[in-house]
């Protein structure tokens, strides 16, 4: 109905009522729990990315209240103008933690030695962080990993290293299935570069 369509807007906190069982219950009522402002246009694709991660990596009908709080908090930060990349990386990290796939960003995988800020590491899905030389391809700075552990991503290097380690961890959880939002982002970037 037109009344429901006005309420059912993306990325808004809603109170819903429905009846029926199974995969397709009937929506009987919907109202906004709060009147949050719309997301800035530059954040919409990122918000759809968060939704896609949640749909792909969680089980239907599993409430996961802590994860919902992280999701809602990330959307609130984006509405308030928080930098996009750090907000996404921190959400990805918290998502992995809630799902039981949290990263040990404090110790090396095999030796148990503490991660040192001045050293470099490689991330291996299913294992963790292993020492690497500074000039090896894909080396992650220890300083970046420790920053990710503290959820403080204050440099371009820290953001890039966080993106790479979290992307690898998420790829393992997704079992190689590509994300549609990443393909859309690449397509937009290619068209913008023309």
Task: Summarize pLDDT for 28-62 with one digit per residue, the tens.
Answer: 899 999 888 889 999 999 999 999 999 999 998 89
Residue 125 and residue 165 in one domain:
yes
State whether 94 and 8 are in the same domain: no
Q: Are residues 64 and 137 in the same domain?
A: yes
> What span, in angstroms and rounded, lies between the C-alpha atoms of 162 and 67?
20
Shared domain check, 50 and 32? no
Residues 17 and 44 in one domain: no
User: What sign results for the dihedral spanned by CA atoms 184, 153, 70, 149?
Assistant: positive
In terms of domains, do 94 and 30 share one? no
Same domain, 31 and 49: no
| Rounded distance between C-alpha atoms, residue 184 and residue 44, angstroms | 12
The residue segments making up the domain with residue 12 are 1-36
Q: By C-alpha distance, which of 11, 15, 99, 100 is closest to 59?
A: 99
pLDDT tens digits, one per residue of 126-160: 899 999 999 999 999 999 999 999 999 999 999 99
Contact 132, 122 (CB under 8 A): yes
Domains in the chain: how many in total?
2
Please check whether residues 101 and 147 belong to one and the same domain. Answer: yes
Do 92 and 160 have their domain in common? yes
């Amino acid at each position: 109905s037109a009344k429901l369509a006005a309420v059912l807007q993306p990325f808004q906190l809603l109170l819903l009522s429905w009846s029926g069982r199974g995969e397709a219950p009937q929506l009987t009522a919907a109202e906004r729990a709060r009147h949050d402002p719309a997301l800035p246009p530059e954040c919409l694709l990122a918000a759809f990315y968060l939704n896609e991660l949640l749909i792909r990596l969680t089980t239907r009908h599993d409430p996961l209240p802590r994860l919902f709080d992280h999701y809602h908090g990330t959307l609130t930060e984006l509405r308030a103008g928080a930098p996009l990349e750090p907000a996404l990386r921190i959400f990805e990290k918290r998502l992995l933690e809630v799902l039981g796939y949290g990263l040990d960003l404090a110790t090396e995988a095999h030796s148990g030695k503490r991660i040192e800020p001045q050293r470099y590491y490689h991330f291996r899905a299913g294992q963790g962080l292993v020492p690497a030389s500074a000039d090896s391809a894909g080396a992650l700075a220890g300083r970046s990993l420790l920053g990710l552990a503290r959820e403080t991503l204050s440099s371009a290097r820290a953001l890039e290293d966080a993106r790479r380690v979290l992307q690898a961890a998420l790829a393992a959880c997704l079992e190689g299935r590509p994300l549609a939002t990443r393909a859309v982002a690449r397509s937009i970037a290619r068209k913008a570069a023309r």
